[in-house]
Amino acid sequence: MRKYASNGFYAYLRRDLLQSHRRLGEAASPLIFFVMASTLVPLGITPDPASLAEIASGIIWVFALLATMLSVGGLFAGDYQDGSLEQLLISPQLLVMPVLGKVTAHWLITGLPLTLVSPLLGLMLSLPEAGYLPMTASLVLGTACLSLLGAVGAALTVSLQKGGMLLALIVMPLYMPVIIFGAATVQYGIDGLAWTAPLAILGAMLAAAIALCPLAIASVLRLTSIN
């Protein structure tokens, strides 16, 4: 039984990473979106460093959220279309482990790279120096939350041809607490307050999401297969 549980996680993690490796261009597009959209802000609003510094943390967080949301929609779509989702549903192993493997792969492909390039965008948007560490720390935890919550929406919209907009409507309210505490972490850091407090709440949210989201995803996927 234990063997089945661990196998499901690593097999699906490995498979999804391998698939992204074969299609690097597609896998890199959320990251490119994140960088390009953030570049538009100084062009569209103001290039003045003092004004940018005030909104930098919020901008980076909003675009990290949008980049995750745009990429998470396809998490189960390919599996649904080619029949591998059905194979997963009728396998004897626990559904939560493969699901967690897939979400982990999604985070490694999108959330982690977003976090790694965020200091560069901070530099471009004149983020105050005290904000870098809180930003990176909050994005590591926050993007993992976003991947997990987004996967619930992806599972709910898996059978729809064009579920993109519906996915956004489902997922946005779930993302609100994440962005509130994520952006607060950075702002606290800049203002010299104890930024580990909102970060700890973000960590608690992630812990809850790891425990609950795979269960929700698994039961939603079972429901969609019935129709």
**Site for another protein, rule CB under 8 A:** 3-4, 7, 11-12, 14-15, 18-19, 22-23, 78, 81-84, 86-87, 89-93, 225-226
The residue among 110 and 138 lying less far from another protein, judged by its C-beta, is: 110
Rounded Cα distance between 58 and 183, Å, is: 6
Shortest distance, position 160 Cβ to another protein, whole Å: 18
CA distance 47 to 161: 41
Residue 8 or 42 with smaller CB distance to another protein: 8
CA dist 60 to 4, 36, 97, 167, Å? 40, 11, 31, 21
Question: Least CB distance from residue 9 to another protein, whole Å?
Answer: 12
The nearer residue to another protein, 22 or 162, going by C-beta atoms, is 22
For another protein, give the closer residue by CB, 50 or 90.
90
Beta carbon of residue 192, minimum distance to another protein (angstroms, whole number): 48
Tell me how far, at minimum, the Cβ of 83 lies from another protein, in Å: 3
User: Contact, 110 vs 68, CB < 8 A?
Assistant: yes
Place of tokens 């004004």: 51
State the nearest-atom distance from the C-beta of 219 to another protein, in Å. Answer: 14
Residue with tokens 């990429």: 71
Cα angle 210-13-26, degrees, rounded to a multiple of 5: 105
Q: What is the CA radius of gyration of the chain?
A: 18
Q: Which is nearer to another protein, 14 or 191 (CB)?
A: 14
User: Cα–chain-centroid distance for residue 175?
Assistant: 10
